[in-house]
Amino acid sequence: MPFPLRRRPSHRTAVAALALALVTAALAGCTSGAAPDMSTSARPSAPPSSSAPAATAEPSEEPAPVTSPAEPPTPAAPAFDKSALSIDDPASLWVVTDKLRTVNPIDYVPSDLVTVDVASQNPPVFRREAGDALLALFAAGEAEGAGQFQVQSAYRSYATQVSVYQGWVDRLGQAQADIQSARPGHSEHQTGLVADISPIPLSCALQACFGDTAQGQWLAANAWRYGWLLRYPADKTAVTGFTYEPWHFRYVGVPLATEMHTTGVTTLEEFFGLPAAPTYAG
């Protein structure tokens, strides 16, 4: 029996079938994998809330000011040592002799007395250091226009002071003599550290008016530079026990004279904290 003839599919039908197959395959690939998560990474980020504070730029740090290195502190000057020398030993430059304090021993004689080459009314005998300082004092005063100086009185022994004091008693009576002259054993002249000074030509010798002379004024202002102290100031009679003696200068050395000048203390009694000595103890 003859086979029936099979109809060959047309070209248009083949193309349609191929297209259908491709679409079917594509749909199958899309549905076989997991769907992408759009809740996080694929979701566009939300714009910042308007209520949130705006970010501000950090302030830039300014450079620290440049300062010069601090100056090291100036070390304080050491305090003046008031105990460096004795105020009791008659051989000390700082010995204090007044109406309450005698030279001890009472017949003390300095071991280094010299005669100084200066004009004088009485022998210009001093302890060596004081004599050298007196020469420098007189030379400076003359060089600075104060005029010339001379020594009225210098070292006096205990025996000599007995005679001097008695002369004042005979002339003025003991009460007045005691404010004009020291009793034997209480005189600074015995230490060899005192100069009674007068001008050249001689005037106002051992008188208050010496303080008004060019020499007296220069000494009052400058003697400390050479270690000398105006021992009996006008306003300190109640402390020293003696009336104003602008001619009476006591050598104490430059360190002590400078310290007293700097601090404004004018008497040895006050500087060393000693009792005032307006009168003798007995």
- Report angle CA 26, 30, 35 to the nearest 5 degrees: 170
194 three-class SS: strand
Distance (Å, whole) CA 108 – CA 155: 12
Q: Exposed e or buried b for every residue in 138-170, given b needs 16+ CB within 10 A? A: beebeeeebeebbbbbbbbbbebbeebbeebbe
Helix intervals (H) in the chain? 11-32, 128-143, 158-172, 174-180, 214-222, 237-240, 254-263, 268-271
Q: Tell me 77's DSSP state.
A: P
Distance of CA 177 to the CA centre of its chain: 44
Q: What are phi and psi of 196, to 5 degrees?
A: -90, 120
129 a catalytic residue: no
Greatest Cα pair distance in the chain: 200
Yes or no: say if 107 and 191 are a contact pair by the CB < 8 Å rule: no
Catalytic residue, candidates 62, 142, 245, 259 = 245
Residues tagged active-site:
245
